[in-house]
Structure 1
Amino acid sequence: MPAKTYLITGASSGIGAQFARSYAARGCNLVLVARRLDRLEALAAELRERHGIEVLPFAADLGKRESVQELLIYLKLSGISPDGLVNNAGYSLAHTFAATTAQQQLDFIEVCVTTPTLLVRELLDHMLSQGYGRIINVSSMVAFSPGASGHTLYPAAKAYMLKFSRSLAAEVADKGINVTALCPGSTESEFQHSNGMDAVLKTNPARFVQTAEAVVEAAIRANEAGREVIVTGLFNKIAVAAMTLLPDGLITPLIRWGAKKYQLKE
């Protein structure tokens, strides 16, 4: 069988780069998308040499609709129809809603909600036509939380990715397409650096922080098994169970107390 092709967003570092390495090790060809072309090209060269696969790096700002359209047009003109999609690109705004601008929040929604939705819709038809597809949408364990001060839209966006994934999975499960919402907790990556949370997250006990490799391997296994949701890590599973099963009046104060350290001061 010809090698499958996976499109991975946010592939220049962290979880996205690890998805690229893990799928490359499985013999898959790749389309790697992120803003930093130099990093994408370096990763592409590494994976081509190590695994003998085809890798296309594509620089795009996924917060801009025109960049997403350019990516889709390029794929069409190049005759590339991805068999798999990993919607990994994302970030958070650690300040309160009032301390950010409307444009900042709209850009966040574009990257974390609109772009993943658009990519799924545009790539889904090919998957349906061939009776095979793999989609992993990176959500977060905070998708199960009641929300707290700071990172205002982050839980909402991740809850959207969780519900979207489950609804889509219900629609296409009998059509050869597996859809999985990946819900990790703290993971070794550059995510915290991009939102100014480096110092805060370094205070987390090491047992609460997973490696990107552990998260990605769990996600790929879950997706291949047809699981709709995967929460990675024992402590994260316990936390999600508590957020899901405990009464709201009990869990909400605990979550909001614990989340205080993750909000940047105004």
Structure 2
Amino acid sequence: MTTSKRGALITGASAGLGEAFARLLAAEGHDLMLVARRADRLQALADELSGKHGIRVLVCPLDLGQPQAAAMIEAQASAHQFTVDILINNAGLAEPVSFLNYPVEDVRAMLEVMVTGLTELCHRFGRGMVTRGWGRIINVSSLAAFAPNSPGMLYTGIKSYVLNMSQALDLQMKPAGVHVTALCPGFTWTEFHDTQGTRDWANRLPRILWQDADTVVKAGWQAVCAGESICVPGVVNKAVSSFTKHLPERLRYLVSMRARMVN
């Protein structure tokens, strides 16, 4: 764990894992820069955490689907002399319909949030971490990164990219004192399924598959501090990832084909 006060940038901070990360890092005494679209939720969280823990909290209401979002975040941090030592790339979404039925503008925004923007934030703030000789980056991937593809969905491929990119960055940056971890949670109790319109489906899944946000966040933070490049929280999730990632490619494809026929 960290032993001194640092500055943490958290995207998707207004709810779910992002909010849980904000609470955990605030309790450790770190200053925060919170990014999300919902200004009212961000400000309420900022007021609560700054008052409770005596920390500095900057609020940055921003749509990360904008092409210039990462540059705007960096400009805000610079303008407020906020040094980002900890980066939590948590913001994300999943397409509610298959690829060809999803508006191209929404496809572009999805890639901006979870691929281009995430990667650019790692680049913009990672260089400073390397120069200073200390940094922690958590990129939120998913258990889906290890799974066969879902027909017509981008989510699995995107999360696989986040997993692989995070490992590549960790290999480059760790000698300089910067740890990068891909956090790969399974089903987690957050607002994600409400915003995606899949709550009824999610509620039918066995409870043993689920974890709460605080448990996932604590596991991810412990992992990045320990220098682990991948964190799959939970015994069930570890077993699932170990099984699915070792399936032969042909079998993985057949599983995906079967899913298409069922749907």
TM bracket, shorter-chain basis: over 0.9
Residue 36 of structure 1 pairs with residue 7 of structure 2: no
Encode CA deviations 1:29-74: one digit per residue, 9 max, x unaligned.
1000000010001111111122111111110000002333222211
Q: How does 1:66-215 map to 2 (within 5 A)?
A: 66-150=68-152, 152-215=153-216
Change (3 A) 1:47 1:256: farther
In the TM superposition, what is the alpha-carbon distance from 1:226 to its structure 2 partner? 0.1
Partners of 1:139 and 1:182 within 8 A in 2? yes
* Deviation (angstroms), 1:127: 0.6
Letter aligned with residue 231 of structure 2: I
For structure 1, the 5+ residue unaligned runs are none
Which of 23, 26, 51 is the equivalent residue of 1:24?
26
1: CA distance, partners of 2:175 / 2:76 = 30
Offset at residue 146 of structure 1 (A): 2.2
> For residues 66 and 250 of structure 1, do their structure 2 counterparts lie closer, same or farther at Cα, with a shift above 3 Å needed?
closer
Output the amino acid matched with 2:33. Answer: V
Structure 1 residues 156-165 or 97-106, which shifts more? 97-106
Q: Secondary structure at the match of 2:222?
A: helix
- Decide whether the 8 Å contact of 1:86 with 1:136 is kept in 2: yes
Cα distance in 1 for partners of 2:69, 2:116 equals: 13
Deviation at 1:249, TM superposition (A): 3.9
The 1-side partners of 2:260 and 2:179 are apart by: 33
Q: How does 1:238-249 map to 2 (within 5 A)?
A: 238-249=239-250
| Runs (5+) with no aligned partner, structure 2 | none
CA distance in 1, matches of 2:227, 2:256: 31
* RMSD, matched Cα: 1.8
Normalised by the size of structure 2, how large is the TM-score? 0.94
Distance 1:79 1:203 in 2: 47
1:45 aligns with 2:47: yes
Distance 1:201 1:125 in 2: 39
Distance in 1, matches of 2:226 and 2:154, equals 31
When the two structures are superposed, what TM-score results if normalisation uses the length of structure 1?
0.93
Number of the residue aligned with 2:232: 231
Give, in whole Å, the separation in 2 of the partners of 1:39 and 1:81.
23
Deviation readout 1:177-209 (Å, 9 max, x if unpaired) = 000000001101111112111111111111111
Specify the SS of the correspondent of 2:60.
Answer: strand
After superposition, give the CA deviation of every residue in 1:209-251 in whole Å (9 maximum; x if it has no partner).
Answer: 1000000000000000000000111111111111112333444
Q: Is the 8 A contact 2:151 2:256 kept in 1?
A: no
Q: What SS does structure 1 have at the residue aligned with 2:187?
A: coil
SS in 2 for 1:210: strand
Q: Are the structure 2 counterparts of residues 25 and 260 from structure 1 closer, same or farther at C-alpha, using a change threshold of 3 Å?
A: farther
Identity rate, percent: 38
For 1:232, give the aligned amino acid. Answer: P
1:111 positional shift: 0.5
Deviations 1:89-135 (A, max 9, x none): 00000211121122111111001101111111111121111100000
- The letter of the residue matching 2:219 is A
The one-letter amino acid of 1:123's match is: F
- Partner AA of 1:116 in structure 2: L
Q: Cα 1:69–1:242, aligned 2, differ >3 Å: closer, same or farther?
A: same
CA–CA distance in structure 2, aligned partners of residues 260 and 187 of structure 1:
27
2:12 aligned partner, one-letter code: G
Partners of 1:110 and 1:12 lie apart in 2 by: 19
CA contact (8 A) 1:147 1:256 kept: no
Task: State how far apart, in whole Å, the 1-side matches of 2:175 and 2:147 are.
Answer: 31
